[in-house]
Amino acid sequence: MAATVLAVFYPTVSGELNSIDDMDMVTGLLNLEQWRLKDVFIPRAGEGLYYRPLLSLSFLLDKELWFMEGSFMHLENILLHLCSSILVYFLTLKLLPDTEQDTSYLPLVAALCFGLHPLSAEPVSWVSGRSDVMAGTFVLLSAIALVKFKLEQDKKFLFFSVLALLLGLLTKEVAMAFLPGAFFILMARSPQENPGDAADEDRHRDKVKKLLLCGAIVAGSALFFFLLRSHAFTSNSPRIGMTLKFIFNDPNQAIFVFFKTFGFYMKKLYWPFPLNFAIVEVDPLYELLALPIIVLCVYIALRRTVISAIFLAGVFMVTPALPIAFNQVAWTPFAERYIYIASAFVTIATVLFFGRQLKNCRVSIPVRVAVPCLVVVIGAATLQRNMVWKTNLSLFGDTVRKSPDFTKTWNALGVAYYLKKDLPNAEICFAKASSLYQILGYDEKSDLNLAAVLSEEGKIKETEQVYARILKNSRCKSEKVLEHYVQYLGERAAVEKDPVARAKLKREELSYNGKLYDLTGKPLVLFRMGELSEALGDKRSAQVHYRKAYDKFPPEDKYKKIVLRRLALSTKE
């Protein structure tokens, strides 16, 4: 099993870092001069969206151990996924009767079906998808320990289960969704229970006591997690508030969105195709599919078997993805990686259910043929998907074909072409993204990228037209736009040979630096305004800008001495 999973995911090792999140994360960590373990867990940041200190720690260790080498980080994801696949094997094994554990092939089938599930390609192949893979490993560890506790009544397994779940929470918040599943696992009827029997009533009372103990421990762990988070951030991100606002402002619409999303993901668990990195729309008819699935889940819950509890654990692991459908938190409202952990539990429950149904049927030969064929088919699909994920060009080329109206993927494809020095195709992609923004609402990113490519191609007139559109649409209220434009003007002035044209560019740069300073109040902008004034021969204005910059720079800032020196020189002259 391990060799098969490794072989299917092997192409990922030599894959590129994804331009979505991966590159920014790597650049940010490489530029980080030093870090402290305390700051990882309690960063004392402002607004907070994600609190994932163990995930952050894993990336910091990547920096310390192999300097953020992409192949090693990809390999880590693969090994974490392999660990989860092995845990699926042992969890399935533990759920079998003792008499079948040595002979049953079901644990191997479950491990292979999960390990080769096409849904796993996204979180494993994407370095930033490690959050789901790593959290999944801890959640599965928690589930195994919980089942051991249920079978052996040894409290050490209960404490280990809670500890593993807490580690999962510190990796990704979605691990919290395992709690309802854990409740159903603990409340599941053991094979020896007979309803109405006096001994059964004693066992039930004992079970309730243990459940209360478990609840107290879990509540304490959850409280500990939220206390850490509250110390890590002074406030929650506005994106969380926006999501809640959407839900509470129109509860009826929110219910329909939840139903649609739930139906879509439940279908995706069993039929994941087409695989797409940017799922931005879901057919409303999935609302209708959700209704019978919910009724089925209620029936399964009433069965109170361990298999039904495992299935419900998977269903509950889908629920954190439902609010994301409002598109206020993540890159896309829907994603395959969101149900990675759910796929483990649903796969185990499905394999055990059908394994038991087919146990006494006279179809052993067809089953023995069908199961290997199924494994080969899903393995081939996952291998093909991993090949798509190897490069940004292939991934985003595939994505724009499947989501042609999603602006961010056209922009990402343009970046991929730009990094390959294919400027004409990059221009086409950025222009396409820009045209979509005009329809769906303005965002300057694609226009800024388009302007940069046009400038590099030497198309000055077209570049200035794009910048004129950007400045108009942003109303000069975007720091990023102004920074890009003054940089562009500075580069133009540096190569301009005509003194009159060069002076005109510098005056325009000075003017827009003034707008940038009004917007940001940054002293470094004042310093640049002083340099430009000096270059234009306006010594008085240069001194005014230098004095203001000197007053605004903190005492320890290196620019304070530089400004003082320039101020002294301009005064002497």
At 24-65, the pLDDT tens digits run 999 999 988 888 888 888 887 666 678 899 999 999 999 999
- Residue of higher predicted confidence among 395 and 188: 395
Residue 192: which pLDDT band, with cuts at 50, 70 and 90?
very low
- Determine the pLDDT at residue 562: 83
pLDDT at 516: 94
Report, as an integer, the average pLDDT of 90-106: 88
| Average pLDDT estimate for 177-181 | 92
Could you give the residue ranges of the DSSP H alpha helices within 391-459? 392-402, 407-419, 423-440, 444-456
Q: What is the distance between the alpha carbons of residues 265 and 279, in angstroms, rounded to a whole number?
A: 12
Which stretch of 109-113, 197-201, 517-521 has the lowest confidence by average pLDDT? 197-201
pLDDT in tens, 65-96: 999 999 999 999 999 999 999 999 999 999 99
Q: Give the Cα-Cα-Cα angle 488, 489, 495 (nearest 5 degrees).
A: 95
The reported pLDDT for the residue numbered 90 is 96
Give the per-residue pLDDT at 556. 80
| pLDDT the model gives residue 475 | 87
> For position 362, what pLDDT does the model report?
58
Q: What is the average per-residue pLDDT within 469-489?
A: 92
- What's the mean per-residue pLDDT of the chain? 87
Q: In the prediction, which pLDDT does 25 show?
A: 93
Mean pLDDT of 9-22: 94
- 567 — pLDDT class (breaks 50, 70, 90): confident
pLDDT tens for 320-356 read: 999 888 876 678 899 999 999 999 999 999 999 988 8
Q: Is the pLDDT of residue 194 over 60?
A: no
Task: Give the per-residue pLDDT at 142.
Answer: 95
- Measured over the CA atoms of residue 410, residue 413, residue 415 and residue 417, the dihedral's sign is negative
pLDDT of 99 above 90: no
What is the rounded CA–CA span in Å between residue 1 and residue 9? 13
User: What confidence tens digit (pLDDT) does each residue in 236-245 have?
Assistant: 555 665 666 6
Question: Given its phi and psi angles, is residue 453 left (phi above 0), alpha (psi -120 to 50 degrees) or beta?
Answer: alpha
In the prediction, which pLDDT does 10 show? 94
Over residues 454-469, the mean pLDDT reads 92
- Percent of the chain with pLDDT strictly greater than 70: 87
What is the CB neighbour count within 10 angstroms for residue 513?
26
| Residue 344 tokens, joined | 């483990």
Residue with tokens 């590159």: 23
Cα distance between residue 384 and residue 272, in whole Å = 14
Of residues 348 and 543, which shows the higher confidence score? Answer: 348
Which residue would you say has higher pLDDT here, 329 or 258? Answer: 258
Higher pLDDT, 253 or 506: 506
> How far is it, in rounded angstroms, from Cα 64 to Cα 72?
12
Distance CA 560, CA 546 (A): 10
E strands in 133-269: 233-236
Question: CA 90 to CA 50: how far, in whole Å?
Answer: 31
pTM over 0.85: yes
What pLDDT is stored for residue 361 in this prediction?
A: 64
Q: Is the pLDDT of residue 573 over 60?
A: no
Task: Tell me how many helices (H) and strands (E) the chain has.
Answer: 28, 2
**Residue 257 CB partners (closer than 8 Å, separation 6+):** 322, 325, 326
Predicted pLDDT of residue 386: 96
Q: What is the pLDDT of residue 373?
A: 87
More confident residue, 219 or 43: 43
Under the banding of pLDDT at 50, 70 and 90, the label for residue 210 is low
CA distances to 41, 217, 241 from 231, in Å: 9, 21, 19
How many Å apart are CA 242 and CA 237, to the nearest integer?
9
The residues pairing with 279 across neighbouring beta strands, listed in sequence order, are: 334
Question: Identity (one letter) of the amino acid at 2?
Answer: A
Q: Tens digits of per-residue pLDDT, 112-154?
A: 999 999 999 999 999 999 999 999 999 999 999 999 998 888 8
d(CA 113, CA 377): 10
Closest CA to 482 of 456, 455, 508: 508
| pLDDT at residue 546 is higher than 70 | yes
* Range 6-33 average pLDDT: 92
Residues 6+ apart with CB under 8 A from 17: 23, 26, 70, 127
Checking if the pLDDT of 199 tops 60, the result is no
Residue scoring higher pLDDT (48 or 409): 409
Could you give the domains of the chain? 2-388 (no CATH), 396-572 (1.25.40.10)
Local structure of 47: helix, strand or coil: strand
> Is residue 264 over pLDDT 90?
yes
Cα-to-chain-centroid distance, residue 79: 19
Which pLDDT does position 366 carry in this prediction? Answer: 67
